[in-house]
Chain A
Amino acid sequence: MPNNIHNENEKLLKIFAGIRCLNKDQLPRYLEGRLTDVEKHLVEQHLVDCDLCAEALLALQQEGLMEQYPSLSTGIQQYIRESIKPVSQVHKMEHYARKVKQRESMLIYFWLAAFILGGGALLFSISQYNGHKPAAARTAVPVVSASVASPAPPPAAVPVDSTQLQSSHKPATLAAAANPAAPAPVIPAVKKDTVKAAPTVKKPIVDSAAKKPPVAAPKPPDSSKKVADKPKENTAVAAKPAAKDTPAAQIVKSKEKENDKKDDNDNKPKTGANAAPATSGKVDTDEYLYKAAMVYQQHGDLDEAISRYKHLSGTSNSRVSEMARYQMAVCYRSKGQMGKAKRMFKEVVRMDGTMKQAAQQALDNM
Chain B
Amino acid sequence: MYQQLSNLSDRELISRARKLKDREAEGVLLERYSHLMVAVCLPYLKKNPGTGAQTVFPQLLQRLSNGLKVQSIQKANEWVHQTIKTYFAQPEKQVPYYPSRESRDRLHTENRVEKAANNTIEKQALIAQVKTAIAKLGNDDRYLMEQFYLENKTFADLAAQKGTTVDKIRNQLKKAKSRLATQLTN
Contacts and interface: CB of A to CB of B under 8 A. Distances in A.
Interface in A55-112: 55-60, 62, 64-65, 68-69, 72-73, 75-77, 79-81, 83-85, 87-88, 91
A81 B150 CA distance: 42
Interface in B26-56: 26-27, 30-40, 42-43, 46, 53
A15 B177 contact: yes
Contacts of A77: 31, 34-35
B119 interface: no
A58 B170 CA distance: 12
A22 B35 CA distance: 9
Interface string B92-129: 00000000000000100110111010000001001100
Given A48-B170, A51-B81, A65 B42 contact: yes
Name, among A9, A12, A50, the residue most crowded by chain B CB atoms within 10 Å (CB to CB). A12
A226 B42 CA distance: 121
Nearest to B30: A80
Nearest to A38: B152
A52 interface: yes
Contacts of A56: 35-36, 39-40
Contacts of A91: 21, 23
A88 B27 contact: yes
A50 B77 contact: yes
Interface stretch (A39-47, A193-201, A284-292, A335-343): A39-47
Given A54-B170, A69-B38, A80-B27, A14 B149 contact: yes
Interface residues of B, number: 56
Contacts of A50: 77
B42 A69 contact: yes
B14 interface: no
Interface in B9-25: 21-24
A18 interface: yes
A13 B127 contact: yes
A56 to B, nearest CB: 4
Nearest to A51: B81
Contact of A12 (B37, B112, B149): B149
A15 B126 CA distance: 12
Residue in B21, B40, B130 with the greatest tally of chain A CB atoms within 10 Å: B40
Contact of B81 (A52, A60, A84): A52
A49 to B, nearest CB: 7
A363 interface: no
A52 B24 contact: no
Contacts of B35: 23-24, 27, 56, 69, 73, 76-77
A48 B158 CA distance: 13
Interface size class of A (residues with CB under 8 A): 35 or more
B181 A59 contact: no
B80 interface: yes
B36 A22 contact: yes
A152 B13 CA distance: 96
Contacts of B152: 37, 41
B130 A15 contact: yes
Contacts of B84: 52
A73 to B, nearest CB: 4
A62 B43 CA distance: 8
B127 A72 contact: no
Contacts of A14: 149
A91 B123 CA distance: 46
Contacts of B22: 88
Contacts of B106: 16, 49
A55 B77 CA distance: 12
B180 interface: yes
Given A77-B31, A80-B34, A87 B23 contact: yes
A64 B43 CA distance: 10
A11 interface: yes
A55 B130 contact: no
A8 B150 contact: yes
Nearest to A25: B35
9 contacts: A15-B149, A27-B36, A51-B78, A52-B40, A65-B46, A72-B42, A75-B53, A76-B35, A84-B30
Given A59-B43, A76-B38, 7 more contacts: A8-B150, A12-B130, A13-B130, A48-B173, A50-B77, A51-B81, A60-B39
Interface of B: 21-24, 26-27, 30-40, 42-43, 46, 53, 57-58, 61, 77-78, 80-81, 84, 106, 109-110, 112-114, 116, 123, 126-127, 130-131, 134, 145, 148-150, 152, 154-155, 167, 170, 173-174, 177, 180-181
